Amino acid sequence: MQTLFVFANDLAKYFVLSKNKKVAAMHIVYEINSRLDSNMKHLSEDDKRIILHLIEDFISGNQQFILKPGEMIITKQKDHDEFIAFKKYINDHVLMKK
């Protein structure tokens, strides 16, 4: 679980720090879809859902970022609003349709 937590943290930081949120959303899709687990298999649908949930928690401020020494990230409501605007796009390109 720790690995998924750190992975989600890094993707959330990328989104918040990005000036182009559309590119950031595409980056999130690419990273999640190309990520391999320790058995060299693609992430399960459950893992993907957990990661997407954690990303939103970080961006919304419900979860604190894991920061490196000297690193500071301030999230704004606008960051969360923009993430919500791209959430359907990300979900559609990451999660299997039922």
Mean pLDDT for 44-65 is 96
**Rounded to whole angstroms, what are the CA distances from 88 to 8, 32, 39, 72, 75?**
17, 15, 29, 28, 21
Q: What is the pLDDT of residues 57-96, one digit of tens each?
A: 999 999 999 999 999 999 999 999 999 999 999 999 999 8
Share of the chain above pLDDT 90, in %: 88
| Residue 8 in tokens | 């989600």
